[in-house]
Copies of this chain bind each other. A is one copy, B any other.
Amino acid sequence: MDDERTLTLAEIENARERIRRQLPPTPLRRSFALRPHDVWLKLECWQPTGSFKVRGALHHLVSLAETERRRGVVAASAGNHALGVAWAVQALGGSVPAVLFVPETVPRAKLEKLRSFPVTVRVTGATYDDAYDASLAYAEAAGARYIHPYDDPLTAAGQGTVGLEILEQLPDVGQVVVPVGGGGLMAATAVAVKAKAPGVRIVAVQPAASPSLSESLARGEALHLFPAAPTLADGVAGGIGDLVFRHRALIDEVVNVPESAIEETIVALLAEDQVVAEGAGALAAAALRCGLIAPDGRPVAVVVSGGNIDARHLARLLAARG
């Protein structure tokens, strides 16, 4: 983002009107795994591609002018964002040319999934950064629109519709707990919730292996790059964007969750709630389960952001902890 602009409630409400026909609200369900606490799971892992990313991708695409759509869109991602863009292209009838850059490390299952959508997939470079560079170069050469995964007001406004849904589904909610990667979901959810219900606490969660938000707050600047340690929550490892840093005043608390709590929560959500969460998706629930966040007597909503976990990984976790 090249301006200092913040998001508004109106942008997020507009986004909701534009995407709701294709993306009806995901369920908000009381968790069995987190009882006796009164905790509700916002099941973004049950979106059509298994993550909340479809919201921002669809909103970005429907917001483009006809001429922009005709020139096509470009994205780089090793996972959920690429799937979100691919799904959104399909939801719009396949009429938007889309080129998705993924690194060579992408798991085969994810690659096959991507290729089942009406998009062009380019496997380019050894790392995400290589794929990212290639996607920017391609977008510039082709005059196509680059869809940023989080640091973009159109993408983020779509993600923030999660917050509007939580307030409607659980009007007496007292805390909303959100995992933070680049921070688009966090920023926009905070804007939506604080605008409509200022008394609701907003809690941001990252893995202790990649505490880029609390480090950024401590240093007083957004750390776009962050040397994360290995983590099960690989979907949120790395730096944050400017957008979430600019909205930091809306975040009441930031907690960093240890790996063991993430593992334990993935197994508990599966065993007791029949919910498949990926590492990043289990973060918010893990913060409650390991006692880093205490409910204040009011119901708590935790965003289960995604469910795209490798089955062999899940098998290992279940075998070790089941």
Contacts and interface: CB of A to CB of B under 8 A. Distances in A.
A193 interface: no
Nearest to A277: B274
A48 to B, nearest CB: 6
Interface stretch (A66-74, A159-167, A256-264, A306-314): A306-314
- Residue in A30, A32, A35, A318 with the greatest tally of chain B CB atoms within 10 Å: A318
A274 B45 CA distance: 8
Contacts of A267: 311
Contacts of A143: none
A20 interface: no
A271 B109 contact: yes
Contacts of A272: 109, 113
A315 interface: yes
Interface in A31-48: 32, 35, 43, 45-46, 48
Nearest to A30: B48
Nearest to A312: B322
Nearest to A51: B274
Sort chain A's interface into a size bin.
20 to 34
B311 A116 contact: no
A307 B307 CA distance: 15
Given A46-B27, A276-B275, A276-B276, A314 B270 contact: yes
A29 interface: yes
Contacts of A311: 267, 270-271, 318, 322
A50 interface: yes
A272 B50 CA distance: 10
A263 B314 CA distance: 16
Interface string A5-31: 000000000000000000000010110
Contacts of A309: 274
A319 interface: yes
Contacts of A314: 270, 318, 322
A29 B45 CA distance: 13
Contacts of A30: 48
Contacts of A274: 45, 50, 276, 307-309
Given A314-B270, A322-B315, A32 B113 contact: yes
Interface in A269-322: 270-272, 274-276, 307-309, 311-312, 314-315, 318-319, 322
Contacts of A27: 46, 48
Nearest to A278: B274
Interface in A125-176: none
A270 B312 CA distance: 11
Given A50-B274, A270-B276, A318-B318, 7 more contacts: A27-B48, A30-B48, A109-B271, A274-B276, A314-B318, A315-B322, A319-B319
